[in-house]
Chain A
């Protein structure tokens, strides 16, 4: 059985750094073809992808947030950690981690990774206050 759970502060102040931990079981992030990503959802709004880390330690970030995000994995602890610097009230959202199924396709410039999220955590609400 695959499970994921997010943990971290509920309240952060503007300009502070947010650190969220995703603790999972039932799979390993060192297994080929596996990734773990973070997605957020402001209240009443759509989903927004933030970051992804793959089994081979390849990391991808949302271009609009790349300068503020860092994603790391700890295979021994079955954890993936996301940090987001310089928090702002607009970052108030429910933050989800999710396991990614990955298929690799040979593209023009090299292998390309295609990802869907097949298992999700319950989400954690983060409120960024001014």
Chain B
């Protein structure tokens, strides 16, 4: 299976900060990566797919980039509602879809 490693696993930031989360794949996956946001007690929500395509309705302060083995999720101007846990996911179901371990973004 393709392993996804997110860094950092925990991040403390202030409202208005620019935040970057990295996801590294154990082998090249082209641009087949998605990002999700999950708030406590809630289901994940899709932010970005195919590495950089913003899901409909997601604020433009979220952006994704990367290809191959290294990907980033950037939040430009952190808002109070953005404090959550973020997961990356590689999109190929053969042999298995996989998620990263998560990055928790907390208020500094």
Contact = CB atoms under 8 A, between A and B. Distances in A.
Interface of A: 37, 39, 46-49, 52, 60, 62-64, 96, 98, 101, 103, 112-118, 120-123
A117 B42 CA distance: 15
15 contacts: A39-B99, A46-B87, A46-B99, A47-B87, A52-B93, A60-B93, A60-B96, A60-B97, A64-B96, A103-B91, A113-B94, A116-B34, A116-B46, A117-B36, A123-B43
SS class, residues of chain A in contact with chain B: strand
Contacts of A98: 43
B72 interface: no
A63 B91 contact: no
B54 to A, nearest CB: 12
Given A46-B102, A63-B1, A114-B32, A121 B95 contact: no
Nearest to A47: B99
Contacts, number: 73
Interface in B59-108: 87, 89, 91-102
- Which of B36, B97, B98 has the largest count of A CB atoms less than 10 A from its CB? B97
Contacts of A60: 93-94, 96-97
B21 to A, nearest CB: 14
Nearest to B34: A116
A23 to B, nearest CB: 15
Given A46-B101, A115-B93, 13 more contacts: A39-B99, A47-B36, A49-B96, A49-B97, A52-B97, A63-B96, A113-B93, A113-B94, A114-B93, A116-B34, A116-B46, A116-B50, A120-B45
Nearest 7 CB-CB pairings of A with B: A120-B43, A114-B91, A116-B49, A49-B97, A116-B34, A60-B93, A47-B99
A49 B36 CA distance: 14
